[in-house]
């Protein structure tokens, strides 16, 4: 089978590769409205083109190509459908969970249950669901501060995430991480990082481990992939480029997912970037660069499947740029006055959840009642998570010094000759370090 990605070797930079243009017969989720941004005058000309023919470049893929290939191989009795009912329900439930959870977070924040910086993911659910649902438990996910939904999609229980946000000891990080540092050893969520770009090298390292296990430790079946999620602002950061280089150099099994929601707090992507088309930066390092409509979970899913398969085969990394949008401000502290209301309204019509619902109902995959049942179930899950978090205890003083070192001998030797960690006051947390 020839995959759209497999023919990439060259660094040939395509002139004006068009962004994903939907072929109406394939995807009913298209939108014919142009991208509106408050800086639309600054947009490069190529993005204005509507209805232009798709120019196929070896390294830049229009997603409809991938979808077409799959279609021809499909043996389903409904050749036009992209998903089965089961798959659709899984996607829907995950996106509803993400949305409901984030909405609850906003409520809880304004009620004074959680503090600090909380960055919500509303509107971007298609990216998280589309990508992370392609992963196994052993695969790793690395994210940024907008990480609640990545953790949820990967399988971290909602109650663990909510507890963490409330700062309780039953949180996934024992209350020590908070909103921006969601970690899970069990589900291989490697964080949650506050500084942008910081997680990308960590993700590269996790991918390196996968390759090392296969080639040095001779675990021949180790095909774990890592996904690194980050935003458009990060794509201007040095760590991004350094890791693109290393990942391509050593053909690491990693997928770099750019969640381009066009805004880095109040900095428009177009004002910050000399060449705003981030996916074009992949071929410069020798990996395929793909642009996909991040408000369409089905398209994202197709791209993700291909990228994951590529990584598992050992063909190396992929850079995927998802055009998406956050419905809320950058964080709950952001008044969000800078973005054009017309832009927000436009993207509200492209809500990924509504779109998937519409697709599934129109194609008779589900009844409305089934979807309602899922929404109710998720509401209960989120409610239960809040109750659990409320009821959980806050960390006690003895927890303060507990995880500073994996080996607590690192606190040193006290004047009396014993290791500090052996001092009973120390384990109570009342010793002075």
Partner 1 sequence: MASIFQAVGAARALSSSNSFDSKKFYLTSRESVSERKGSIFVVRSDGRMNSGRVDKLVTNAVATKADSAAASTASKPGHELLLFEALREGLEEEMDRDPRVCVMGEDVGHYGGSYKVTKGLAPKYGDLRVLDTPIAENSFTGMAIGAAMTGLRPIVEGMNMGFLLLAFNQISNNCGMLHYTSGGQFTIPVVIRGPGGVGRQLGAEHSQRLESYFQSIPGIQMVACSTPYNAKGLMKAAIRSENPVILFEHVLLYNLKERIPDEEYICNLEEAEMVRPGEHITILTYSRMRYHVMQAAKTLVNKGYDPEVIDIRSLKPFDLHTIGNSVKKTHRVLIVEECMRTGGIGASLTAAISENFHDYLDAPIVCLSSQDVPTPYAGTLEEFTIVQPAQIVTAVEQLCQQ
Does 242 sit near partner 1 (CB under 8 A)?
Answer: yes
Task: Number of residues interacting with partner 1: please give it, by CB under 8 A.
Answer: 62
Residue 220, exposed/middle/buried by CB under 10 A (0-12, 13-18, 19+)?
exposed
Query: For partner 1, which stretch binds (CB under 8 A), given 9-17, 26-34, 184-192, 333-341?
Result: 184-192
Of 56-64, 167-175, 315-323, 367-375, which segment contacts partner 1 by CB under 8 A? 167-175
Q: Is 137 in the site for partner 1 (CB under 8 A)?
A: no
- 185 in contact with partner 1 (CB under 8 A): yes
Q: Does 118 bind partner 1 (CB under 8 A)?
A: no
Write out the DSSP string of 159-211.
HHHHHHHHT-TTSTTTTSS-TT--EETTTTEE---SSTTTHHHHHHHHHHHHH
What whole-number distance in Å separates Cα of residue 409 and Cα of residue 55?
A: 61
Q: Is 245 one of the binding residues for partner 1 (CB under 8 A)? A: yes
217 is an interface residue for partner 1 by CB under 8 A: yes
Question: Which of these segments, 65-73, 99-107, 185-193, 366-374, binds partner 1 (CB under 8 A)?
Answer: 185-193
- Should residue 212 be labelled a site residue for partner 1 when binding is judged by CB under 8 A? yes
Residue appearing with tokens 């298209």: 30
Q: Does 143 bind partner 1 (CB under 8 A)?
A: no
- Going by C-beta distance under 8 Å and a sequence separation of 6 or more, which residues neighbour residue 399? 169, 174, 175, 176, 429
Over the range 379-404, which residues count as b (16 or more CB within 10 Å of their CB) and which as e? eebbeebbebbeebeebeeeeebeee
d(CA 281, CA 286): 9
Query: Per rule CB under 8 A, is residue 97 in the interface with partner 1?
Result: no
Q: Is residue 176 within the footprint of partner 1 (CB under 8 A)?
A: yes
- Identify the bridge partners of residue 189 per DSSP, sorted by sequence position: 141, 184
DSSP string, 66-122: HHHHHHHH---SSTT-SS-HHHHHHHHHHHHHHHHHHHHHHHHHHTTSS-S-----T
How far apart CA 58 and CA 53 sit, in angstroms, is: 16
239 binds partner 1 (CB under 8 A): yes
In angstroms, give the least distance from the CB of 408 to partner 1: 9
| Angle at CA of residue 247, ends 241 and 253, nearest 5° | 135
- Tell which positions 404-423 bind partner 1, by CB under 8 A: 404-407, 409-420
Instruction: Check binding of 151 to partner 1 (CB under 8 A).
Output: no
| Interstrand relation of 289-293 and 60-61 (parallel, antiparallel or unpaired) | parallel
SS3 312: helix
**Does residue 208 belong to the site contacting partner 1 (CB under 8 A)?**
yes
- Contacting partner 1 within 299-338 (CB under 8 A): none
Part of the chain binding partner 1 (CB under 8 A), chosen from 241-249, 269-277, 280-288, 372-380: 241-249
Reduced to 3 states (helix: H, G, I; strand: E, B; else coil), residue 413 is strand
- Is 251 a binding residue for partner 1 by CB under 8 A? The answer is no
**Residue among 42, 46, 137, 195 that touches partner 1 (CB under 8 A):** 195
Query: Containing H/E element for 370?
Result: helix 368-391
- Nearest distance, CB of residue 238 and partner 1, angstroms: 7
Q: Is 142 in the site for partner 1 (CB under 8 A)?
A: yes
Counting contacts by CB under 8 A, is residue 140 touching partner 1? yes
Q: How far is the CB of 299 from partner 1 (least distance, A)?
A: 29
**Measured from the CB atom, is 272 or 414 closer to partner 1?**
414
Q: Which residues of the chain form contacts with partner 1 (CB under 8 A)?
A: 140, 142, 171-177, 181, 183-185, 190-195, 198, 200-213, 215-217, 238-239, 242-243, 245-246, 249, 402-407, 409-420
């Amino acid at each position: 089978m020839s995959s759209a990605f497999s023919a990439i070797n060259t660094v040939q930079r395509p002139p004006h590769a068009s962004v994903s243009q939907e072929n109406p017969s394939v995807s009913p989720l298209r939108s014919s409205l142009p991208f509106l941004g408050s800086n639309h005058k600054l947009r490069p000309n190529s993005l204005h083109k509507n209805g232009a023919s798709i120019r196929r470049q070896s390294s830049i893929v229009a997603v409809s190509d991938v979808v077409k290939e799959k279609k021809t191989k499909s043996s389903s009795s409904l050749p036009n459908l992209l998903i089965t009912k089961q798959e659709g329900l899984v996607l829907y439930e995950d996106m509803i969970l993400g949305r409901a959870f984030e909405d609850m977070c906003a409520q809880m924040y304004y009620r004074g249950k959680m503090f600090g910086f909380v960055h919500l993911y509303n509107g971007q659910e298609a990216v998280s669901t589309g990508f992370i649902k392609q992963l196994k438990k052993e695969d790793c996910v690395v994210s940024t501060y907008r990480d609640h939904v990545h953790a949820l999609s990967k399988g971290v229980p909602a109650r663990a995430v909510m507890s963490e946000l409330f700062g309780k000891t039953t949180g996934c990080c024992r209350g020590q991480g908070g909103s921006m540092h969601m970690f899970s050893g069990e589900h291989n969520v490697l964080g949650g990082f506050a500084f942008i770009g910081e997680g990308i090298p960590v993700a590269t390292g996790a991918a390196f481990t996968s390759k090392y296990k296969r080639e040095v430790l001779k675990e021949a079946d180790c095909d774990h992939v890592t996904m690194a999620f980050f935003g458009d602002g990060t794509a201007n950061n040095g760590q991004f480029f350094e890791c693109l280089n290393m990942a391509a150099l050593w053909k690491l099994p990693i997928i770099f997912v750019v969640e381009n929601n066009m805004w880095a707090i109040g900095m428009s992507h177009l004002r910050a970037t000399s060449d705003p088309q981030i996916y074009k930066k992949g071929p410069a390092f020798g990996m395929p660069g793909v642009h996909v409509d991040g408000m369409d979970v089905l398209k994202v899913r197709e791209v993700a499947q291909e990228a994951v398969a590529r990584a598992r085969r050992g063909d190396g990394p992929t850079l995927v740029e998802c055009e998406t949008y956050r419905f809320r401000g950058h964080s709950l502290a952001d008044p969000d006055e800078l973005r054009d209301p017309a832009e927000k309204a436009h993207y509200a019509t492209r809500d990924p959840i509504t779109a998937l619902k519409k697709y599934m109902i129109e194609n008779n995959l589900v009844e409305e009642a089934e979807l309602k049942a899922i929404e109710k179930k998720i509401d209960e899950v989120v409610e239960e998570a809040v109750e659990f978090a409320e009821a959980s205890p806050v960390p006690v003083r003895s927890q303060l010094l507990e995880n500073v070192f994996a080996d607590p001998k690192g606190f040193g030797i006290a004047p009396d000759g014993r290791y500090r960690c052996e001092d009973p006051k120390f384990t109570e947390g009342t010793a002075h370090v």
